[in-house]
């Protein structure tokens, strides 16, 4: 049985980047001072305990040509579970939460470049279908940070340097798209977890890892890594904190907010008369007290005119979407048919 230190160091390592190698657990074992079998055993345990949700490629939605946005609906509390189930039925919805606000249903939506409906019309059809009282489409104006890397081994300082990775101009080929289709699935728990992929593609390890390097260097793949269930990993508190920042200071404030290690997501989004907040931050911590301390520190540095903590009341969906599959087109076909025939579900 491995120590908690080994477990936490393992989690920190695979969040940062899972080794792209024919025998990745041998590589991990070498870095942690354990053998390959023990490293594989640690991974198997973390999967069985559901601390590791998934290990696969983390792809860049925008770079792949998808249109995406955060969306907020104001819906009736009665039947919100059924409404959330309908919203979550869209294959391009990756996150879907009930939050404590009049805008009580928040989700992220992505549609492919050849969508028959488009993002805005999809949201409007959804809103009509569920009888939403109001809604907001909140696309990214500026991304300052997106990196869910929980501090499992407690080595991070309060702040960290955010480095923007430079990308190369790479044209995707049929080989790249074939690899993209395979690397979105959860990795198998075996000594050679990439063997299934190379067998199905009819290529060797060098070819696979060269294609993955292309995707990373071109910015199509942010990294190949493990994503954790933050609560099971000990990070039981999280909050979406939105800030009202004067437009002339928004870029500076966003850069400052992104430096906080506990902030996993930091975006500038549009504001509305009914919604004054333009800077969105997602914070993860091990306690609500820690969350409050971080918010207080951020408040003292960002120069915000106000902020609001959007507490998560219920998680309806949290997955990685699958790119370039037929599911979305089937959903669009069905909703276009129903749009003319069906009454609202509430």
Judge if 6 and 80 occupy the same domain.
no
- Sheet of 237-244: strands edge to edge? 142-146, 263-268, 279-285, 237-244, 306-310
**Domain limits at 119?**
67-151+231-318
Give the tokens for residue 283.
């914070």
Domain annotation covers residue 84:
yes
Residues 80-111: tens digit of each pLDDT: 999 999 999 999 999 999 999 999 999 999 99
Domain annotation covers residue 289:
yes
Q: What number is the average pLDDT over the span 175-179?
A: 97
What number of other Cβ atoms are within 10 A of residue 155's Cβ? 10
Residues 221-271: tens digit of each pLDDT: 999 999 999 999 999 988 999 999 999 999 999 999 999 999 999 999 999
To the nearest 10 degrees (0 to 180), the angle between helices 4-16 and 36-48 is 90
Q: Tell me if 71 sits within 8 A of 135, measured CB to CB.
A: yes
Judge if 119 and 239 occupy the same domain.
yes
Domain annotation covers residue 92:
yes
Give the tokens for residue 58.
């983390």
- pLDDT confidence band for 340 (50 / 70 / 90): low
Domain annotation covers residue 165:
no
Residue 208 exposed, middle or buried by CB count within 10 Å (0-12, 13-18, 19+): buried
Q: What number is the average pLDDT over the span 55-67?
A: 96
Question: What does the alpha-carbon distance between residue 113 and residue 31 come to, in Å, rounded to a whole number?
Answer: 41
CATH number at residue 299: 3.30.70.3460
Q: Tell me if 140 sits within 8 A of 69, measured CB to CB.
A: yes
Judge if 17 and 146 occupy the same domain.
no
- pLDDT confidence band for 280 (50 / 70 / 90): very high
pLDDT, position 1: 56
Question: What does the alpha-carbon distance between residue 139 and residue 221 come to, in Å, rounded to a whole number?
Answer: 21
Question: What does the alpha-carbon distance between residue 196 and residue 270 come to, in Å, rounded to a whole number?
Answer: 44
Judge if 295 and 256 occupy the same domain.
yes
Domain annotation covers residue 312:
yes
Judge if 25 and 80 occupy the same domain.
no
Helix (H) or strand (E) holding 4: helix 4-16
The total of structural domains in the chain comes to 2
Place of tokens 């906080």: 260
The total number of residues shown for the chain amounts to 346
Judge if 92 and 129 occupy the same domain.
yes
Q: Which residues are catalytic?
A: 95
Residue-averaged pLDDT of the chain = 94
72 Cβ partners below 8 Å, 6+ apart?
103, 105, 106, 135, 136, 138, 275
Q: What number is the average pLDDT over the span 14-22?
A: 97
Residues 111-159: tens digit of each pLDDT: 999 999 999 999 999 999 999 999 999 999 999 999 888 999 888 999 9
pLDDT at 163 exceeding the cut of 90: no
Domain annotation covers residue 252:
yes
Judge if 132 and 245 occupy the same domain.
yes
**Pick from 231, 197, 191: which is nearest to 52 by CA?**
231
Helix (H) or strand (E) holding 26: helix 24-32
Domain annotation covers residue 130:
yes
Judge if 33 and 71 occupy the same domain.
no
Place of tokens 């160091």: 9
Domain annotation covers residue 263:
yes
Judge if 23 and 77 occupy the same domain.
no
């Amino acid at each position: 049985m491995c120590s908690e230190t080994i477990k936490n160091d393992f989690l920190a390592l695979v969040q940062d980047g899972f080794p792209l190698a024919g025998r990745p657990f041998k590589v991990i074992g070498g870095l942690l001072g354990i053998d390959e079998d023990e490293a594989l055993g640690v991974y198997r345990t973390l999967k069985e305990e559901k601390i590791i949700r998934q290990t696969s490629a983390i792809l860049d939605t925008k770079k792949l040509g998808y249109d995406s946005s955060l969306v907020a609906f104001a819906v009736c509390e009665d039947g919100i579970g059924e409404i959330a189930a309908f919203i979550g039925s869209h294959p391009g919805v990756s996150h879907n939460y009930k939050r404590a606000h009049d805008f009580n249903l928040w989700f992220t939506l992505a549609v492919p470049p050849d969508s028959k409906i488009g993002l805005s019309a999809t949201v409007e059809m959804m809103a009509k279908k569920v009888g939403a009282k109001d809604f907001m489409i909140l696309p990214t104006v500026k991304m300052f940070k997106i990196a869910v890397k929980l501090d499992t081994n407690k080595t991070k300082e309060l702040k960290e340097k955010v480095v923007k990775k430079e990308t190369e101009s790479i044209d995707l080929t049929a080989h790249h798209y074939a690899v993209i289709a395979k690397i979105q699935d959860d990795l198998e728990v075996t000594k050679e977890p990439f063997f299934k992929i190379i067998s199905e593609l009819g290529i060797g390890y060098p070819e696979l890892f060269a294609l993955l390097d292309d995707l990373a260097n071109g910015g199509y793949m942010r990294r190949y890594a493990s994503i954790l269930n933050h609560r099971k990993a000990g990070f039981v508190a999280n909050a979406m904190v939105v800030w009202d920042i004067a437009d002339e200071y928004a870029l500076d404030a966003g850069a400052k907010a992104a430096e906080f290690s506990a902030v996993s997501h930091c975006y500038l989004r549009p504001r509305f008369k009914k919604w004054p907040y333009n800077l969105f931050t997602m914070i993860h911590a091990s306690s609500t007290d820690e969350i409050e301390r971080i918010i207080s520190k951020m408040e003292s540095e960002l120069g915000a005119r106000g902020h609001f903590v959007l507490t998560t009341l219920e998680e309806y969906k949290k997955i990685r979407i699958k790119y370039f599959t037929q599911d979305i087109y089937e959903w669009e076909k069905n909703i276009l048919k129903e749009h003319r025939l069906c009454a609202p579900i509430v």
